[in-house]
């Protein structure tokens, strides 16, 4: 179990503290929702958690098979709903792989990405495709 403590600091800004490490981060409301947009918004953190989780789970799977995935990266684009209620509507994640498309562990790695806990925890209402770009 992990405890995250969040304190409201005013002006739509929160400070979150990760219990086990004491690491802190700041969130701000985005400019399109009354905020200053000076840091990650809460929904930006979801869009950050997704690719971080995907790469972490793929890294764990790669380690089990003796693969080096250094240089792997991911970009997630977040789209908010156009109509109320305000929510994340779409998270498109593109994973760039340092391995060729004909790599024998390709299916295993792509499957690992789709089993990441964040991806599995998203509402079915969120369109969250994961695309892969393999080294030519």
Interval 38-58: pLDDT, tens:
999 999 999 999 999 999 999
Whether residue 58 is found in the same domain as residue 27 = no
Mean pLDDT of 4-20: 97
> Is the model's pLDDT at 36 over the cut of 80?
yes
79 in the same domain as 17: no
Are 36 and 46 within one domain?
A: no
User: Rounded CA gap, 63 and 130, in Å?
Assistant: 21
Give residue 109's domain range.
Answer: 41-135
**In this structure, are residues 28 and 36 in contact, taking their beta carbons and an 8 Å threshold?**
yes
The enclosing domain of 114 has a CATH number of 3.30.300.20
Compute CA 73 distance to the chain's CA centroid, rounded to the nearest angstrom: 12
Query: Are residue 59 and residue 87 in the same domain, yes or no?
Result: yes
Q: What is the pTM of this model?
A: 0.94
Domain count for the chain: 2
Helices (H), 1-136: 42-64, 106-114, 117-121
Q: Do 23 and 59 fall into the same domain? A: no
The backbone region for 91, taken as left when phi is positive above 0, alpha when psi lies in -120 to 50, beta otherwise, is: beta
Task: Determine what percent of the chain is predicted with pLDDT higher than 70.
Answer: 100
- Number of neighbouring beta carbons within 10 Å of residue 136: 5
79/116 same-domain check: yes
């Amino acid at each position: 179990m992990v405890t995250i403590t969040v304190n409201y600091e005013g002006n739509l800004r929160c400070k979150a503290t990760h219990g086990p490490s004491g690491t802190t981060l700041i969130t701000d409301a985005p400019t399109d929702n009354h905020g200053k947009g000076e840091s990650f918004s809460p929904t930006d953190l979801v869009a950050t958690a997704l690719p971080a989780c995907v790469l972490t789970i793929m890294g764990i799977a790669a380690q089990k098979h003796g693969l080096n995935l250094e240089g792997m990266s991911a970009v997630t684009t977040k789209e908010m709903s156009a109509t109320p209620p305000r929510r994340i509507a779409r998270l498109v994640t593109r994973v760039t792989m340092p391995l060729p498309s004909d790599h024998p562990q390709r299916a295993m790695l792509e499957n690992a990405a789709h089993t990441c806990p964040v991806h599995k925890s998203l509402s079915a209402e969120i369109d969250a495709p994961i695309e892969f770009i393999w080294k030519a």
